[in-house]
């Protein structure tokens, strides 16, 4: 629980002091260096004091488009401070953080860990006045803290009105073979991005290790810029998510489940805790579930502390174990060697919610008239009339989605977050599906007023900031991409920078340890491919001469990764 303790210390005192580290090291019998490494790794832990009002503006591209930079400038000016530096009396810090998951309702901020949306320049001035008067956060206008979910289109999941516990009862009735058969017949695939068949994951896990010594983890880290559907699901359909986790526990023979909730979603925690309590009281969690002797399962919420890579399932497990969120070498996979080295199912929030619907109502729950089986929640943000959550049948085209959310004068769409695919309007007939445009849920629209190089650079900075630093191609490569991209943005770049980036991309794709490093160079290069004019107008024409032997560098990087893995 060391990470949870550090997080509490940070939130209550705005710093983790040297003496905190000493006390923790003594009482937990842990090396001090390990505790300091945690503070260094997680974005929301600090060993230097922050302001008593510790404010972070979301630095996501969608927040930029809604004016976050201007609002942050207003707040800094009003408080007389510079970003990242607390004022002399320690009153406040104004800083930036990666996406806070309020993309459809930005500019968004976190104040002492609590989210506030729509912080335009006026609201920034009002906040500054409250801070200068030292008004406690509890006395700030209540409506600022109400985060509504803009649910625009409902499908089977968001319309589901099943009785609480009905999926659990049916799971017990049909047994684990029946549950797995239902999930297979429905064709449910993971909604977190990779699309792995859910029935296979559960099936492998239930046969691994020892009965009742397995775990269920709900991945509620949702750090992908442009994704906020898990936030909405946990808020309005939290019961179905918990029901799905419980069904999973019963099916695979697990007695314990965890919801790994990102730090930025602290505002959802109390409501979720309440739901867990209510379900315990009604016998749907805890010992002898629904009166069935010997079936035990309970769930605990564990908070993240600020790290995008912790959404990767093995990094998440490391974090859950109180370590830095560095992705593990795989195989072995979490289904056989997961949390505490025990068989573990890690599924996305949405996957558990669909699983509850399928088990409760049968595989027909996700049927529809189109060619592709299944539904998907989309988080639509950016330039459109109605940003928000849309539950769509898989197989919908890009053009249909754009029409549905009232987008016009569209220049480009980023599907699947920064590491996903950039689509131009000429590709409007492509479909959202596991076989064409696969997305964990992020769908960001850019109209023709947007500078696509700025967009690409926002994503490139994001990856450099979030690289966990474990492997050299990603740690160094993301910094080099930022350097070369910024050079082009500032008008000092040349075609040779693009060629260097293309070579670097090959190296990063082939030699990085996890998906972050493998995709980090993609946004800027795809943008160059599809929108070259955004670059050409800022570049000089200089012939490229390779500075190093790329093939040798790839080989050497592979060796380094293998050596680092072995050393670990
Ligand atoms: C860098 C990185 C970040 C990820 N972030 C998330 C996340 O925030 N939420 C999520 O469900 N999956 C995320 N994933 C995918 C998970 O590793 C994993 O595939 C997923 O949680 C499995 O659940 P599913 O089968 O239900 O999709 C991420 C993967 C990578 C490589
Ligand atoms: S690719 Fe990047 S994020 Fe992934 S393990 Fe390597 S350094 Fe960490």
Could you read off the pLDDT of 491-518 as tens digits, one per residue? 999 888 999 999 999 999 999 999 999 9
Q: How far is CA 388 from CA 61, 89, 101, 434, in A?
A: 16, 40, 12, 22
Statement: residue 108 has pLDDT above 90: yes
Sign, Cα dihedral of 542, 545, 551, 555? negative
Reported as a single tens digit per residue, the pLDDT across 127-166 is 999 999 999 999 999 999 999 999 999 999 999 987 899 9
pLDDT range class, residue 478, cuts 50, 70, 90? very high
Statement: residue 542 has pLDDT above 70: no
Ligand 1: does its nearest atom lie under 6 Å from the Cβ of 68?
A: no
* Ligand nearest the Cα atom of residue 465: 2
Output the residue whose Cα is nearest ligand 1's atom 8: 222
Reported as a single tens digit per residue, the pLDDT across 317-362 is 999 999 999 999 999 999 999 999 999 999 999 999 999 999 999 9
pLDDT of amino acid 55:
98
CA–centroid distance, residue 190 to ligand 1 (Å): 9
Ligand 1: does its nearest atom lie under 6 Å from the Cβ of 182?
A: no
Answer yes or no: are the C-beta atoms of 360 and 162 closer than 8 Å: yes
- Choose the residue to mutate in 188, 225, 348 for probing ligand 1, maximizing ligand atoms within 8 Å of C-beta: 348
Q: Which of 384, 396, 117, 411 is nearest to 267 (CA)?
A: 117
Residues near 468 by beta carbon (within 8 Å), at least 6 away in sequence: 41, 307, 309, 315, 324, 325, 326, 327, 516
485 vs 492: CA distance, rounded Å: 10
CA–centroid distance, residue 325 to ligand 2 (Å): 10
* Ligand nearest the Cα atom of residue 328: 2
CA–centroid distance, residue 68 to ligand 1 (Å): 27
Ligand 1: does its nearest atom lie under 6 Å from the Cβ of 191?
A: yes
Output the residue whose Cα is nearest ligand 2's atom 8: 468
Predicted model pTM: 0.94
Token readout for 102 is 């309020």
Residue 58 three-state SS = strand
Ligand 1: does its nearest atom lie under 6 Å from the Cβ of 516?
A: yes
Q: Which atom of ligand 1 is nearest to the CA of 315?
A: 17
Beta bridge partners of 346: 217
Q: Which atom of ligand 2 is nearest to the CA of 470?
A: 7
Collect contacts of 237-240 with beta carbons under 8 A, ≥24 apart: 237/157, 237/158, 237/160, 237/353, 238/268, 238/271, 238/272, 238/275, 239/164, 239/275, 239/279, 240/157, 240/160, 240/162, 240/352, 240/353, 240/356, 240/357
Answer yes or no: are the C-beta atoms of 327 and 214 closer than 8 Å: no
> What average pLDDT does range 416-442 have in this prediction?
93
CA–centroid distance, residue 568 to ligand 2 (Å): 14
CA–centroid distance, residue 515 to ligand 2 (Å): 8
CA–centroid distance, residue 469 to ligand 2 (Å): 6
pLDDT range class, residue 554, cuts 50, 70, 90? confident
Residues near 33 by beta carbon (within 8 Å), at least 6 away in sequence: none
CA–centroid distance, residue 481 to ligand 2 (Å): 15
Please state, rounded to an integer, the average pLDDT across all residues of the chain: 95
Number of continuous H segments (helices) and E segments (strands) in the chain = 22, 16
Query: Residues enclosing ligand 2, CB less than 6 A?
Result: 309, 327, 467-471, 474-475, 512-514, 516-517
């Amino acid at each position: 629980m060391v990470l949870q303790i550090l997080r509490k210390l940070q939130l209550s005192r705005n710093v983790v002091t040297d003496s905190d580290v000493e006390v923790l090291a003594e009482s937990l019998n842990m090396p001090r260096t390990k505790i300091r490494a945690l503070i260094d790794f997680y974005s929301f832990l600090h060993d230097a004091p922050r302001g008593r009002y510790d404010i972070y503006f979301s630095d996501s591209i969608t927040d930029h488009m809604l004016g976050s930079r201007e609002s942050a400038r207003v707040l800094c000016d009003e408080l007389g401070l510079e970003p990242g530096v607390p004022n002399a009396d320690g009153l406040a810090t104004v800083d930036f953080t990666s996406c806070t998951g309020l993309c459809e309702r930005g500019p968004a901020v976190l104040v002492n860990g609590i989210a506030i949306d729509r912080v335009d320049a006026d609201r920034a001035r009002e906040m500054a006045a409250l801070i200068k008067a030292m008004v406690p956060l509890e006395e700030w206008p209540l409506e600022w803290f109400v985060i509504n979910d803009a649910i625009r289109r409902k499908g089977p999941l968001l319309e589901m009105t099943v009785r609480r516990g009905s999926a659990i009862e049916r799971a017990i009735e049909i047994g684990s073979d029946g549950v797995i058969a239902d999930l297979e017949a429905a064709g449910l695939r993971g909604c977190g991005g990779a699309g792995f068949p859910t029935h296979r994951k559960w099936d492998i896990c239930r046969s691994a290790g020892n009965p009742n010594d397995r775990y269920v983890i709900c991945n509620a880290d949702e750090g992908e810029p442009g994704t906020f559907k898990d936030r909405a699901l946990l808020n309005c359909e939290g019961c179905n998510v918990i029901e799905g986790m419980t069904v999973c526990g019963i099916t695979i023979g697990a007695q314990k489940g965890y919801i790994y909730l990102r730090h930025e979603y602290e505002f959802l925690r109390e409501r979720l805790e309440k739901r867990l309590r209510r379900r315990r009281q009604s016998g749907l969690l805890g010992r002898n579930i629904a009166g069935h002797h010997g079936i035990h399962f309970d769930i605990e919420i564990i908070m993240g502390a600020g790290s995008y890579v912790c959404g990767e399932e093995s990094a998440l497990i490391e974090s859950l174990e109180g370590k830095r969120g560095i992705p593990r070498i795989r195989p072995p996979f979490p289904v056989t060697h997961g949390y505490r080295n025990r068989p573990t199912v890690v599924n996305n929030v949405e996957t558990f919610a669909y699983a509850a619907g399928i088990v409760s109502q049968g595989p027909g729950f996700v049927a529809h008239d189109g060619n592709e089986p299944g539904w998907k929640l989309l988080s639509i943000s950016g330039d459109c009339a109605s940003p928000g959550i849309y539950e769509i049948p898989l197989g919908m085209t890009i053009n249909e989605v754009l029409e549905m959310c009232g987008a016009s004068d569209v220049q480009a769409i980023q599907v699947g977050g920064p590491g996903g695919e950039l689509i131009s309007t000429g590709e409007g007939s492509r479909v959202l599906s596991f076989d064409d445009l696969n997305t964990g849920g992020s769908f960001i629209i850019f109209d023709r007023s947007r500078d696509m190089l700025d967009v690409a650079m926002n994503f490139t900075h994001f990856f450099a900031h979030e690289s966990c630093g474990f492997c050299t191609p990603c740690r160094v490569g993301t910094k080099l991409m930022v350097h070369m991209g910024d050079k082009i943005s500032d008008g000092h770049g040349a075609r040779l920078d693009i060629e260097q980036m293309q070579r670097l991309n090959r190296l990063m794709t082939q030699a990085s340890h996890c998906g972050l490093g493998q995709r980090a160079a993609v946004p800027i290069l795809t943008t160059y491919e599809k929108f070259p004019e955004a670059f050409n107008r800022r570049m000089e024409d200089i012939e490229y001469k390779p500075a190093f032997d790329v093939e040798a560098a790839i080989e050497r990087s592979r060796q380094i990764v293998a050596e680092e893995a072995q050393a670990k």
